Each structure stands twice: as C-alpha cells, then as structure tokens.
Structure 1
C-alpha cells in the first residue's frame, strides 16, 4: 500500500510538471480537469498511505525510498497546487457572479463594485512562482516539525503583497488563494508523514 501511494505521488508530481507548460487559450474546463485529476491522486495517495500506516505487517518502506518521499511530496505539492488554487479562485468568482447577478442575468453593483469589472478579475503579479515557493515552504516546515514556519511564510507573503492589496477584491483573492495553497501543501505533507512513518 505504501509503495502504491508513493507511485501515485510520483504520478501527481509528473502531472504537475506537465501542467506547468501552459498553452495559450487553455479553457477553464481544462484547468479544472487538471485540478480534479490532482485532487483524485491526492485522495487516493492519502487513503493508501493511511491504510499502509495502520497495517503492522510487512517491512514497510526501505530507508532509501523513505528518503525520496519528502522530495516527491514537495514537488507534487508545489507543482499541482497552481491549477487547484486557480480552480478554487474561478469557482469563487463564479459564485460571486451568481450572487451579485439579478434575475434577468444583468450584473449588479454590490459592495465590491461591478463583478464584471475587468480590473476586478486581474490577477496579482508573480502569483504562479510565489505559489510554488510558498507550497515548498509549507511542506518543508511541516516535515521538519516547525509549524511556526507557516506563520512566517504567511507574514512574508502578506508583506510582499502589501501595496497590491488596496482593492477589496485583491484582498479576497489573496486570502482565498493563500488558504487553498497552504491547505493543499499541508495535505501532501500529511501523506508524506504517513509514508515516512513506515520507514
């Protein structure tokens, strides 16, 4: 079971690498497809790792494979988190549009302004690479047993974005994206911890 979970983690890492090659004009549905596939791989790896950690028979993972697990988990978390975070933000935007639309389908002004305002849907600069690095940081801090590092990561990110967070929608996207990214990385770190426990 543990080896099967490691294989799924490796597949997710390879899929994450493939998803980094962005082709112009990729549809929202395709990005959400990547996110769904990664979520299935994460869930399956977590179940297999949990079953493997509960079972006491067998020799578990070899020390060499156990040393590879943290690296694979870090790569999987870092590279698969971008489409997942983007999907969460797109779903949030869609629910905002549904909530702020009138019965006849026309957009209405809410407390955040016109939901169809192109400036409102603009992304924060450098978000892809910042997200990759923050997920690496989250996995590493959890695996080394330094939970305070999560606070440090969040503070550094907030300070770096301080001047860009003047619009209410930017703050919402920042908070939602950060939560999604942190939770995704923490889930991969949890799978890695379950597998490392078998070494």
Structure 2
C-alpha cells in the first residue's frame, strides 16, 4: 500500500467518523465544515496521485469508505445548510426547519437517495440519477402541491441539491482513487 492510498483512506475514515458524530452533536455546522474539508483534501490528494494504483483490496476499501461517507455524511451537511439558509441557530425554528414537520422521513429518504446516486455514478449509469430524483419528486408531490406551510418546496429543493452534490462529490473521490 502506498502512502497516498493510506493517507486518502485515513482522510475518508476520519470524515466518516466525523459524519457519524454529526448526527448526534449540536454543532453540526462545524462537523459539516470539517467533513467537507476532509473530503476536499482527500479529493485533492487523489487528483494529484501519480503513483501506482491501489491494490484490488484497497480499491474495494476506498469504494466502501466513499460510499459510506456519501450516505452518512450527507445528513449533517444538509442539516448545516438548512440552518444557514434559515439564518438561525440549531435550536431556533425558521420556515425551512418547520417545513420538516410536513416532509417527514427526510433523513431516511435522503440517505437512500445518496446511496442510489452514489451507486449510479459508481456503476457508470447516470440514468439512475434521473430515476432516483424522479421517484423522489413523485413521492413528495402531494406535500409539495399543498402549500399549507411556507418553506416546504424550498426545503425539498435545497435538501435534494445538497444531497445530490454530496453524493456526487463522494463518488468523484471514489472515481479519482
């Protein structure tokens, strides 16, 4: 195993551990920012990687790490973006945060969405992204159609974009390695 492989694996492992912690702590913005920095550092190192390719075992490990990070890391990152959009602290409520009461199951749906997007990119099947987003849109259509509370459509769009970008970023690091 090369030093670059070990370093990328270490960065991804640290980002994954931090992401898991991000589901439980109150300082999600900090956790999300640190996770993003770790992913960006791993991406930069992988892009500059000029040595030999990792062994088959390490390649599988890197795919598993980036896939797990795509699923686990997206929740804290999305929550941090929601708190930035609302311009409030994690304990205060804004329109986007209140919209979560209507869009129940968002964390699970987001995790499944990120998994499907990661797998679609990893498999080289971009049509899977379109299918995933179409199914999510159809499934949420009743809530989006009835605008009883402000922020529902915004929460759906922001959450979807952040989730897709996070999963695609993790898949990009996987492809670089």
Segments of 4+ in structure 1 off by > 4 A? 116-120
Distance 2:160 2:121 in 1: 16
1:5 shift after superposition? 1.2
CA contact (8 A) 1:79 1:132 kept: yes
Post-superposition offset of 1:121 = 2.4
Q: How does 1:74-113 map to 2 (within 5 A)?
A: 74-94=67-87
Residues 103-132 of structure 1, C-alpha deviation per residue, up to 9 Å, x if partnerless? xxxxxxxxxxxxx87697231200111111
**Aligned-pair RMSD on alpha carbons?**
2.0
TM-score scaled by structure 1?
0.77
Look up the match of 1:171.
Answer: 153
Q: Which secondary structure does the structure 1 equivalent of 2:99 belong to?
A: coil
Unpaired runs of at least 5, structure 1: 96-115
Q: Tell whether 2:47 aligns with 1:37.
A: no
Give the corresponding residue for 1:12. Answer: 15
Higher relative contact order (CA 8 A, sep 6+): 1
Residue in 2 that maps onto 1:160:
139
Q: 1:172 to 1:62 in 2, by over 3 A?
A: same
Aligned residues: 165
Among 49, 53, 56, the alignment partner of 1:60 is: 53
Unaligned 5+ residue runs, structure 2?
A: none
- Are residues 1:129 and 2:126 paired? no
Q: Tell me the distance in 1 between the aligned counterparts of 2:34 and 2:16.
A: 12
Task: Return the TM-score normalized by structure 2.
Answer: 0.86
Q: Mean alpha-carbon deviation: is it higher for 178-187 or for 60-69?
A: 60-69
